[in-house]
Amino acid sequence: MLLWLAHLALAADPVERPEDTWDLSVLYPSLDAWEAEMKATEAAVDGVASCKGQLSSRLRECLDQRFGVHKAVMRLNVYASNASNADTRDADWLSRSQRGEMLYARLDEVGAFYKPEIITLGGDAVEKAIASDKALAPYDYYLRSAVKDGAHILPAREEALLAGGAISRDATIRVRSQLVNAELPWPEVTLSDGTKARLSPANYTAHRGSPVRADRQLVFDQFFGALTKYGGTLAAAIDGAVQGHWYVAKARGYPTSVAAAIDTDHVPQAVYDTLVARTNANLPTLHRYLKLRAKMLGISDLAYSDLYPPLVSGSRTWSIDEAKQLTIDATRVLGAEYTAESEKGLRARWTDVYPREGKVSGAYMDGAAYDVHPFMLLNYTGDYEAVSTLAHEWGHAMHSVLSRKAQPYSKADYATFTAEIASTTNEALLLDHMLKTTRNEDDRLFYLGNALEGLRTTYFRQALFAEFELAMHTAVEQGQPLTREWLDAKFLEITRRYYGHDAGVTRVPDSIGSEWSYIPHFYYNFYVYQYATSISAGSLFADDILAKKKGAVDRYLGLLSAGGSDDPVVLLQRAGVDMTSAAPYDAIASRMERIMDEFEGILAKKDKKKKK
């Protein structure tokens, strides 16, 4: 489970201690040990084929074998991919990471017969087997899901062909990552104070929020200008990715790419459709926020390049140790056991903290090494956004800790659909903690402003991305190649609608049409919509937890501990949240309105005091 957050800034020359780096040796004590395990696992992967045609008589034995090999493959990948991400310039680690990806694809190819054979057994036989053999309990959801997926599972040979092509289909994201993170010649700009800055993705996020309007406009123009020069290459890459998604969807008999993608987790189409519809209905809330932003910045013509300066400036920074303690304190409401696990993990070497040249940008949590612990990558800067990002990623980490503690390997990997709930709940708990521990009105405005910006970026911005992603796939399904011109025009059209360009709310220049090329998530086959759905659910959980509603903590921790033991929509329904209804999405808009009410109320008090 690899979960990304990609909007961090770059710190200036942090002092790095051993405890600020992760310790990958807990996975393998040496590179030689990893190589030895790689060779052994390569043989084990090929051995999975010995179960072909045998599931009716050796079901439990074969499932034990396949999931055991899968666990070993994932551990190998965690070691190699994280070492590579720590320095993307290292060709040897990149090669090892690619070997791990190839081995994963090979396992899918060799084990492609599993679901077709389970489907052939039939639902009645599967239920009978589960009832008669208690040792099959770890695999009950996998078996029932395979039966449920029967209409879209192909014969074994075709499944093997699809699985074998995955590494080729995924080449597009590797091309994009290599170009953007390691090879693209990012421009250097001179800011108004004479500072020179090379606008890599990390430095772009650091400088786009400059308090100097001319500087942030320069940063936007130069950064997206650099991307535009490679727009044809990046358009070809994203076209290849989307074409691959459509190819698989057609092969499996789905009417659309989105139907195929969300059915992987058995998410109803109504969830996606309701998200897009309710977000568009609630755009007046976003526009109210944008008008408030213009007021706080003291400008009458808000531009897209004005979206990132904080509503209220705050110069305070927190050390990484202080940020960890804030995360622990903010989540104490989840109980003593949760707090103890947090303290243990945050004090250990689970995290690579600071930015370095060549290190992958953004932040993520990798919880795929079942027998060890999660690993986090940050690019910690010390500002409040960095503190919030730590809390966000730590929510993911604790989700993995609790899931692994409660579930066997076969059920521990939770669906992406529920993955962002723990992270966004943590952000809401952090905000509540910061507000409760300050009486200073300026500090309250600062934290409330950060919360509003978080809702813009995690809900409205991700819903915008979801709508654009759907448009891309629909175009390909209708025979439209994704050229740079088409992508620029479509992204610009949707962005202008969301940000109220035609109504004079935000000026969105033509150059922003190329922003699609900056977003890696578009390669992940309908991933981004789940940020928006998750923050909706997470906000409901946080509200109930903070209101101390009876059973709220238990319902929330029960969801995290459930891992992937059932369909994610079902798990959420059991926890009291229906994602097919309008309620979660409308609740986000209501929460944003309440925060703006409080924000404007504090401003009114301050104005009244000034007049006295």
| Set 385, 393, 453, 469: catalytic member | 393
Residues 549 and 559: their CA atoms lie apart, in Å, by 16
Alpha helices, H only, 230-303: 231-251, 257-263, 269-281, 283-297
Tokens of 306: 């004005």
Tokens of 452: 């509003």
For residues 191 and 212, the answer to whether their CB atoms sit within 8 Å is yes
Q: Which residue has the tokens 């308090």?
A: 211
Alpha helices, H only, 133-212: 140-148, 156-164, 166-169, 171-178, 201-207
Residues 370 and 413: their CA atoms lie apart, in Å, by 9
For residues 181 and 204, the answer to whether their CB atoms sit within 8 Å is no
For residues 564 and 407, the answer to whether their CB atoms sit within 8 Å is yes
Q: Tell me the helices (H) and strands (E) count for the chain, helix number first.
A: 27, 6
Residues 471 and 482: their CA atoms lie apart, in Å, by 10
Q: Is 551 helix (H, G, I), strand (E, B) or coil?
A: coil
Maximum Cα–Cα distance for the chain, whole Å? Answer: 86
Could you give the angle at the alpha carbon of 318 between the alpha carbons of 314 and 322, nearest 5°?
145
Pairing outcome for strands 351-352 and 196-198: unpaired
Residues 481 and 243: their CA atoms lie apart, in Å, by 9
Q: Which residue has the tokens 């243990």?
A: 344
Q: Is 427 a catalytic residue?
A: no
Catalytic site positions: 393
